[in-house]
Amino acid sequence: MGPVPRTLELFYDVLSPYSWLGFEVLCRYKNIWNISLQLRPSFIAGIMKDSGNQPPALLPRKAQYLRNDVRLLGQYVQVPMHLPKDFFSVILEKGSLSAMRFLTAVSMEHPEMLEKVSRELWMRVWSRAAEKAGMSSEQARGLLEKISTPKVKNKLKETTEAACKYGAFGLPITVAHLDNQTHMLFGSDRMELLAHLLGEKWMGPVPPAINARL
Amino acid sequence: MGPVPRTLELFYDVLSPYSWLGFEVLCRYKNIWNISLQLRPSFIAGIMKDSGNQPPALLPRKAQYLRNDVRLLGQYVQVPMHLPKDFFSVILEKGSLSAMRFLTAVSMEHPEMLEKVSRELWMRVWSRDEDITEPQSILAAAEKAGMSSEQARGLLEKISTPKVKNKLKETTEAACKYGAFGLPITVAHLDNQTHMLFGSDRMELLAHLLGEKWMGPVPPAINARL
């Protein structure tokens, strides 16, 4: 049957554009590399608070840099990123608590849907025009009422704490469980290094699909 | 003769391990890609001050992460990185002002030596846990790079002249004008656009912007252009 797939945990928040980039790259490689990708919806504001860090967007030069970086990477990684002008003020105000609780509920009740629903939420936040940027929608609000149970709230808290225990000060983090070691890698720009640690081949962020394992 | 090489400016400080990683990768690719690599010795503490940023090592979880990240990347990029025992003292207390002024003087008087001397300073602080703040330390690095002790001493005398101090200041300001909040930054001058890329982990993206091939951080040397 072949060697046991290595578990990779991806801790992410849809508020984080770099989380989207990392997510898409790993989703592409999950059928190429011998890995088992576990998606872990987390709350980035919780990680910031617990680590004493602050969102990069709060530093003017980082915010400026981020806009360009995310745009260029979006093109290179072929993810349809579009940042509206007032994006940072919107995300810093609205946040992602509802969305991440929603995804937590999905992970608990319909885990097979988690990838698609996560992607849809990223598309909403990062691919829409300025006036639609943000998390609240009638639909989400309705569902939110159904899922704001202690069970879901606690699960999101636990997942976020797990990320913190791995040493997270931001997102995304990819935790690779290898035979003898666990590695926590921060950012969407450690995938080539991850390939090296897994003993797998890096074929860029858009690997040819024909390499998929059957 | 072929198309004009694209200018890449690398702003770096030997206090920054990520600068070393970026530097080595670009030095390998400078004979493979159609580029003209311009090394720009800069002062990272000045960039932090000007941008309002702070060294990542000041945040405990970042410091912890950095130690591992730099070690793993050193292995992957094949750069002999070994963290100094008193990591915090090196970065936060001892600093790099004399070293970067020295490299500035080298860039002004003996630019052909700049790559080698820069490398020897990195080897001291980030490979052998040796000092780079004392005059003897800087001289030792220069001599190891192939400078005569006479040449090296001559340059060392110049590091506190207004000319050298100002040049380092100007270069650091230029990095700030490009939007730097840390180092390394690579500024790529393309036909129609200038791109500033932060970090040692944007080299694959850089290849894409240059229309060149990314062959990992240790490209085969046989691809060197003659």
Is B72's CB within 8 Å of A169's CB? no
Query: A62, B181: Cβ pair inside 8 Å?
Result: yes
B198·A51 Cβ contact <8 A = no
- Confidence (pLDDT) at A145: 67
How far from chain centre, in Å, is Cα A102? 14
Token pair 């001599």 is at which residue?
Answer: B143
Q: How far is A71 from chain B (nearest CA, A)?
A: 12
Interface membership of A61 toward B (CB under 8 Å): yes
- Measured CA to CA, the distance from residue B108 to residue B100 in angstroms comes to 12
A16 is annotated as an active-site residue: yes
Sheet holding B194-198, edge to edge: B35-41, B6-12, B185-189, B194-198
Strands A6-12 and A35-41: parallel
The residue in chain A having the minimum alpha-carbon distance to the alpha carbon of residue B201 is A189
Q: Is A162 helix (H, G, I), strand (E, B) or coil?
A: helix
Q: Is there a contact between A183 and B72 if contact means CB atoms under 8 Å apart?
A: yes
User: What single DSSP character describes residue B12?
Assistant: E
Q: Which CATH architecture has domain A6-198?
A: 3-Layer(aba) Sandwich (3.40)
Residue entry with tokens 């990314």: B214
> Of the candidates B59, B197, B198, which has its C-beta nearest A51's C-beta?
B59
Measured CA to CA, the distance from residue B196 to residue B179 in angstroms comes to 8
ipTM, 2 decimals? 0.94
In chain B, residues with a C-beta closer than 8 Å to the C-beta of A185 are: 69
Cross-chain CB nearest to B76 (options A73, A168, A193) = A193
Report the Cα B71 to chain-centroid distance in Å. Answer: 17
A8 contacts A162 by C-beta, under 8 angstroms? no
**Sequence ranges of the domains in chain A:** 6-198
Determine whether B10 is exposed, middle or buried from the number of CB atoms within 10 Å of its CB (0-12, 13-18, 19+): buried
**Which chain A residues in 5-34 lie under 8 Å from chain B, judged by CB atoms?**
none
DSSP-derived secondary structure letter, B5? P
Alpha-carbon span A201 to B63, nearest angstrom: 29
Give the nearest partner residue to A169 out of B62, B181, B209, using CB atoms.
B62
Q: Which residues of B touch A53 (CB under 8 A)?
A: 59, 61-62
* Cα–Cα distance, B28 to B128 (Å, whole number): 22
Contact between residue A158 and residue A166 where contact means Cβ atoms under 8 Å apart: no
Residue B59 is nearest to which of A169, A183, A190, comparing CB atoms?
A169
Residue A135: how many CB atoms within 10 A of its CB?
22
Q: Which of A16, A96, A118, A188 is the catalytic position?
A: A16
Q: What are the 10-residue block averages of pLDDT along chain B, 226 residues in total?
A: 92 98 98 97 98 96 97 98 93 95 98 98 98 98 97 97 98 98 98 95 98 97 60
Q: Which superfamily does B6-210 belong to?
A: Glutaredoxin (3.40.30.10)
Which H helix or E strand runs over A93? helix A87-94
Contact B69 A204 (CB under 8 A): no
Q: How many residues does chain A have?
A: 214
Show the tokens assigned to A59: 């530093």
Beta strands across the sheet bearing A6-12: A35-41, A6-12, A173-177, A182-186
Pairing of strands B6-12, B185-189: antiparallel
Q: CB–CB of A169 and B216 under 8 A? A: no
Q: DSSP states of A125-147 as a string?
A: HHSS-GGG-SS--HHHHHHHHHH
Task: Check whether A132 has a pLDDT greater than 50.
Answer: no
pLDDT, tens digit, for every residue of A139-170? 556 566 667 899 999 999 999 999 999 999 99
- Nearest-neighbour CA in chain A from B3: distance (Å): 24
Q: Confirm or reject contact between B117 and chain A (CB < 8 A).
A: no
Judging contacts by C-beta atoms under 8 Å, the chain B residues touching residue A52 are 59-61
Interface of A with B in 137-166 (CB under 8 A): none
Is residue A130 scored above 60 in pLDDT?
no
**What residues contact residue A111 under an 8 Å CB cut-off, 6+ apart?**
none
Q: How many angstroms away from the CA of B201 is the closest CA of chain A?
A: 6
Q: Using the 8-state DSSP alphabet, how is residue B6 labeled?
A: E
Q: Could A65 and B209 be called an inter-chain contact, meaning their C-beta atoms sit closer than 8 Å?
A: no
Asked if the Cβ–Cβ distance from B64 to A167 is below 8 Å, we say: yes
Taking all residues of chain A, what is their mean pLDDT, rounded to a whole number?
89
List Cβ neighbours of B177 (8 Å cut-off, separation of 6 or more). none
Q: State the Cα–Cα distance between residues B65 and B164, nearest whole angstrom.
A: 35
**Is the CB of residue A44 less than 8 Å away from at least one CB of chain B?**
no
- Angle (CA) B129-B133-B138 rounded to 5° is 85
- Tell me the pLDDT tens digit for each residue of A3-31: 999 999 999 999 999 999 999 999 999 99
Is residue A174 classed as helix, strand or coil in its secondary structure? strand
Q: What is the pLDDT, as a whole number, of residue B150?
A: 97
Q: Are A159 and A171 in contact (CB under 8 A)?
A: no
Q: Measured between CA atoms, how close is A61 to chain B, in angstroms?
A: 6
Question: Token digits for B112?
Answer: 């052909």
DSSP tally for chain A: helices H, then strands E: 9, 4
Is the per-residue pLDDT at A133 higher than 50? no
Confirm or reject contact between A73 and chain B (CB < 8 A). yes
Return the axis-axis angle of helices B162-177 and B97-109, rounded to nearest 10°.
100
Which tokens belong to A30? 């999950």
Cα gap A165→A57, rounded to integer Å? 24
The answer to whether B216 contacts A192, with C-beta atoms less than 8 Å apart, is yes
Give yes or no for a contact between B166 and B27, defined as CB atoms under 8 angstroms apart: no
Query: A55-59, A169-173, A209-213: which range is least confident on average?
Result: A209-213
List CB contacts of B103: < 8 A, sequence separation 6 or more: B14, B41, B114, B117, B118, B121
CB atoms within 10 A of CB B179: 17
A129 pLDDT above the threshold of 50: no
Question: In B53-159, where does DSSP find H-type helix?
Answer: 60-77, 87-88, 97-109, 114-127, 135-144, 149-158
A168: chain B residues, CB-CB within 8 Å: 61
